[in-house]
């Protein structure tokens, strides 16, 4: 590992390593977590199935008249 050569960079390096050591952002967990905000999901969230649900919706839309399409709430992905 390369270590910083200036005092300012050394301080930033030490701070960031100390911060990551305390927070443990990559600790193993079974819950879903937003990597930008850190918000952890509840047990009712199934956003990880969004691609499958979207594919099912598209398959159900095939062959329907555009003016007669209606979207049902039960087909939505829960994200919170």
Read off the pLDDT of residues 19-64 as tens digits, 9 standing for 90 and up: 666 666 666 766 777 777 777 777 777 777 788 888 888 898 889 8
Q: What share of the chain is helix, strand, coil (3-state, %, to 5)?
A: 50, 0, 50
Read off the pLDDT of residues 10-22 as tens digits, 9 standing for 90 and up: 788 777 777 666 6
Task: Answer whether 0.85 is exceeded by the pTM.
Answer: no
Rounded CA gap, 9 and 16, in Å? Answer: 10
pLDDT at 68 over 80: yes
pLDDT at 1 over 60: no
């Amino acid at each position: 590992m390369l270590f910083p050569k200036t005092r300012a960079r050394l301080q930033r390096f030490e701070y960031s390593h100390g911060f990551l050591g305390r927070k443990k952002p990559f600790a193993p967990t079974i819950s879903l977590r937003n990597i930008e905000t850190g918000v952890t999901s509840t047990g009712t969230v199934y956003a990880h199935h969004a691609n499958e649900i979207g594919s099912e919706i598209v398959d159900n839309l095939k062959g329907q008249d555009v003016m007669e399409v209606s979207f049902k709430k039960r087909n939505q992905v829960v994200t919170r």
